[in-house]
Structure 1
C-alpha cells in the first residue's frame, strides 16, 4: 500500500479543518500505517503524539453492535425477538400518532429494530424519562434503570416503518447488560476489548484519562476566521475562510451519569486502541494473532443492508452516505455508482460527533480508524475523501 496521499490528507486536515488528528490502518489484521499530526491543544501548541484519549461518540456504536452480536452467536438472544421478552417494561410501549394520541404499535420493538435504528426512538436528552431517572438516582442514571425507563417515552412511528437516528444503541447496551448479568462496561471489556488487547478503551474518563485527553473543540462556521482566546501562532488548525474553533472542555454530554454506560456514544479511547477493533472486524472477526471476537457470519449479518429502498432514500439520506444502506449499526456501501466512492461494495463503518471515523472492508482486509476531537467536523467533506484515500492506497 502507498500511504503518501493519506499522509497528505491528514496534514491538510490538521492545517485547515481540525487542530490535530490521528490515523491508523490495518491490513489483514496487522497494523500497516500510523500517523499523527497537528496539535492536541491550540492553547498550548502541544503536538499530537498518538497516545491521546478522545471521546469517539457514535463510533462507539460499532463496538456496541459487535458485543451484542456475540449474544446472538451464543444463542442467548435472537435478532427478531421482541425487546419485551428481556425487558418487560417494553411490552406496553406506545406510539404517538400525528394527531397527538397514543396507541399500541402495529408490531413490537424487536432487538433488530434497536440494532438498525428502526425502533421509533429519538435522541432527546431532555426527555421526561431521563429527568425522572436523574432525579431518582441523584444523577447517577444506572444503565439498566435508564433502559427500562426509556420504554415510557412514546415512539415516533411504528417499529420497522422508518429509520431514525436515536438512542437505540443505548437501549441495546442496556439489554446486553440485563441479559448477560454484567454491567455493560464490564461485559465489553471482558468479551471484546481485552481479547483484542484494547487496554485503553473505557466508558468513563477519570483524572488519568482526562490528563491525556486531547482538548475538545467545536467548529463555528461563521466565516470570521477568528480562533477564540488564542494567539496568531496558535491558529494552525483554523480554516480562515469558513470559521473558527472554540474549546468546549472535555465533557461528553451523551453520558447521562456516573453509572450510565452509553452504547451509542460513550467510549473514550486512543487511536491505537480502537484501531485494533477496526482491524479485527476487517479481518473477518479476528486479529493477526488469531484471537476471534466475532464470526465471519455475524459480520456478514452486520453488514447486510436492512433498509427498504423507500426507507433508505427517504430517511437514510445524509449527504456523506449517498449510495449506502444501513445494517446492524453500520453504514454499508451498496451502490458505488450512487455513492461515487472507490470503496468496495460491502465497505462498512460509522462516524462520531467529534470527527472519528471507522472504515472497514472484509474482502480486502482493510480496516482504518481516523480520529480528531472537533465537534461539528463537516463530515460531508472529510468522510467520503477519507474512504476514497484508504482504498485508493491499495497497490
Structure 2
C-alpha cells in the first residue's frame, strides 16, 4: 500500500481553503494510514493534533440510527409501526398542500408517519428550526428545549408532504432520538453512552463536553470569499436548546473515537475486541437502499449519484453511475463541517476523515478522497 497520493491530497486542500484536515484509514482492523496537516487555530498557527474535538454534525445520524436499530433488534419497535404508538403527539398530523389554483391549504394527513419514515427521511418534515412552534417551545422551556419537548413542538407544524411519498433531508433523526427516549426511558445521551460509546471505549464522543474536553474543542471556521481566507465561526446552530440532544447533528467527537464506532459497523456490528452493538442482519438492513420509485427523484445531490439511501446512510448501489472506486454496498454519511465516514464491510475498510469548515467543499473533497484511498490499497 502506498498512501503518498492521499497525503498529497490532504496537503493540497489545506493549502487551498481548508484550515486543516485529517484522515484515518483502517483496513482489516489495522490502522494502515493516518495523516493530518494544517492549523487547528489559524490565528495562533497551532498545528492540528490527535486530541482535538470537533462537531461531527450529521455524522451523528449514523449513531442515532444504530441506537434505534438496537430497539428494532430487541423487538421493542418495528419499522412499520405508526410513530404515534410511541410519540402520541404525532397522531393527528396535518399536511400543507398546494391546490390547483395555486393557493396553499392545510389539510388532515391521509397517511400516518411510520417509524420507518424517521430512518428514511420520508416523514414530511423540513430542516427549518425557526418555525413558530419550535421557537415558542424554546421560550417556554427557558432555552432548554429537551429532546422530547422538541419533538412535541415539531408535531404541531404541518407536514410538507404525505408521509412515505417523498424524500426530504430533514429533522427526522432528531425525532428518532426522541423516540428512543420515549421507548427506552433513558435520556438519549445516556442510552448512547451506555449502549454504544461506553462499550466501545469511546471516551471523547458526547452531546456535552466536560471542562477538560471543552479545552480541546477545535475552533470552527467558514471560508470568506471576499476576504480570501477562513474566518472563525464557532458554535452549533442545530443545538437550539441547552438540553436538546440532537440526534441529527449534536455529537462531538475525535477522529480516533468515532473511527471505533465506524469500524464496528464495518465488522458487521462487532468491534475487533468483541463488543457487539448491532447484528450483521441489522447492519445489512441499514445499508439496504430504501428509496422507492416515488422518492428516488428527490435524492438528487450530484455528488451522491450512484448512491441510494438506507436507514440514515448513503449506500452505494451503482458503480456505473457513481464515479466511485468503492464496491457496491459501501455506506456512510458526512457532516456540515466536512467530516466523512466510509464504511465498507466487503473490503474490510473504514475511513474517518475530518475537518472543521462549515462551507465544507464536500462535493469536491469527499468523492476525490474516497477514490484516492481505494486506489492506494
| Band of TM-score, shorter chain | over 0.9
Is the Cα–Cα contact under 8 Å of residues 30 and 287 in structure 1 kept in the other structure?
no
In structure 1, distance between residues paired with 2:104 and 2:210:
43
| Correspondence list, 1:210-359, <5 A | 210-220=214-224, 222=225, 224=226, 226=227, 243-249=228-234, 251-312=235-296, 314-359=297-342
Q: TM-score, normalised by structure 2?
A: 0.96
In structure 1, distance between residues paired with 2:197 and 2:213:
17
Is the Cα–Cα contact under 8 Å of residues 28 and 282 in structure 1 kept in the other structure?
no
Match of 2:168 in 1: 164
In structure 2, distance between residues paired with 1:135 and 1:305:
39
1:30-61 deviations in whole A, cap 9, x for unaligned? 33322221110110000011110000111111
Is the Cα–Cα contact under 8 Å of residues 57 and 249 in structure 2 kept in the other structure?
yes
In structure 1, distance between residues paired with 2:142 and 2:339:
32
1:306-334 deviations in whole A, cap 9, x for unaligned? 1124522x211112101111000000111
In structure 2, distance between residues paired with 1:6 and 1:278:
20
Structure 1 SS opposite 2:215: helix
In structure 2, distance between residues paired with 1:105 and 1:244:
48
In structure 1, distance between residues paired with 2:90 and 2:66:
23
Q: Give the counterpart of 1:379 among 344, 356, 362.
A: 362
Q: TM-score, normalised by structure 1?
A: 0.92
Q: Give the counterpart of 1:209 among 204, 213, 221.
A: 213
Shift in Å, 1:22: 1.5
In structure 2, distance between residues paired with 1:290 and 1:283:
10
Is the Cα–Cα contact under 8 Å of residues 62 and 350 in structure 1 kept in the other structure?
yes
Match of 2:198 in 1: 194
Is the Cα–Cα contact under 8 Å of residues 29 and 280 in structure 1 kept in the other structure?
no
- 2:28 paired with 1:28: yes
Q: CA RMSD in A?
A: 1.3
In structure 1, distance between residues paired with 2:50 and 2:201:
17
- 2:375 paired with 1:392: yes
Is the Cα–Cα contact under 8 Å of residues 22 and 50 in structure 1 kept in the other structure?
no
Q: Which moved more, 1:18-27 or 1:317-326?
A: 18-27
